[in-house]
Amino acid sequence: MQKQEVLETLEALDKGQLRVAEQSSTGEWITNTHAKLAILEYFKIQNIFSIKAGDLEFQDKIPIKKITPEMGIRVVPPAIIRYGSFVSKGAILMPSFVNIGAFVGAGSMVDTWATVGSCAQVGKNVHLSGGVGLGGVLEPIQANPVIIEDNAFIGSRAILVEGVIVEQGAVIGAGVTITASTKIIDVTGSVSHTYQGRVPSYSVVIPGSYSKKFAAGEFGVNCALIIGKRKASTDLKTSLNEALRDYDVSV
């Protein structure tokens, strides 16, 4: 990839004209490998330089995103948004970190010490609670990023990595950890149903465990439990209150 093409691709990502992953008309998320490759090439062509903030000085290859009033976003010090990411109008960033290639949708809240990893995609009106970790992914270039669809709520200290998709309106309880291999078990019916890598729309999810036999004995293994459904007809606040009351979930 030529240098000019790399620079133009990064500028398009920074302006929100291009995204690392987008949803097709059928609802499938498609990863833009060209954009991911450009990010990797950008690291190669950039030299380390000083970034100063008062008495603080840093050494990095990636500039901090320039924030202007016209962007219509609220950025609370010391929130950091790296160049090559995009934050939509109406979003609020408490002291947090948004990495290169990431996208944050309109009206979303990135709460204190939350991390939006490289290339992670966050939809509209999403709430990332304090300390949430959305894993980043650059290599391999075909690997899918973490995706949080519109109107989802991610509870405090939840960790979502390895291309996990949280579908629209889902509520992830505090402390839930989901990787590509984590079992996501729907226990709402008489027979359980297991998902991996994807949390279905409007699911209410809490941390759980299941027993697994190893050579050394039987031990509890982390999983996530779907214990109910959020009502699509109600707003986020009402739905969360119902989740707390009906399912005794901490979010």
Query: What residue type is 59 in one-letter code?
Result: Q
Residue that has been written with the tokens 């190893």 in this structure = 214
What confidence score (pLDDT) does residue 60 get?
A: 96
What confidence score (pLDDT) does residue 43 get?
A: 95
What confidence score (pLDDT) does residue 87 get?
A: 98
Q: b vs e for 25-64, b when ≥16 Cβ sit within 10 Å of the residue's Cβ?
A: eeeebebbeebbbbbebbeeeeeeeeeeeeeeeeeeebee
What confidence score (pLDDT) does residue 241 get?
A: 59
What confidence score (pLDDT) does residue 234 get?
A: 55
* Topology classification of domain 3-247: UDP N-Acetylglucosamine Acyltransferase; domain 1 (2.160.10)
User: DSSP code of 82?
Assistant: B
131-184 pLDDT tens trace = 999 999 888 877 899 999 999 999 999 999 999 999 999 999 999 999 999 999
Which residues of the chain register pLDDT less than 50?
none
Using alpha carbons, list the distances in angstroms from residue 130 to 38, 93, 241: 31, 11, 18
What confidence score (pLDDT) does residue 243 get?
A: 62
**Torsion sign (Cα): 84, 180, 93, 236:** positive
Starting from the edge strand earliest in sequence, which strands make up the sheet with 115-116, in order?
80-81, 97-98, 115-116, 133-134, 159-160, 177-178
**Torsion sign (Cα): 94, 96, 146, 202:** negative
Separation between Cα atoms, residue 4 and residue 59, nearest integer Å? 24
Give, in degrees to the nearest 5, the angle at Cα 147 between 142 and 75: 120
The predicted model scores a pTM of 0.93
Ordered alpha helix ranges (H), 15-81: 33-45
What confidence score (pLDDT) does residue 247 get?
A: 62
What confidence score (pLDDT) does residue 140 get?
A: 80
**Is the Cβ–Cβ distance between 144 and 21 less than 8 Å?**
yes
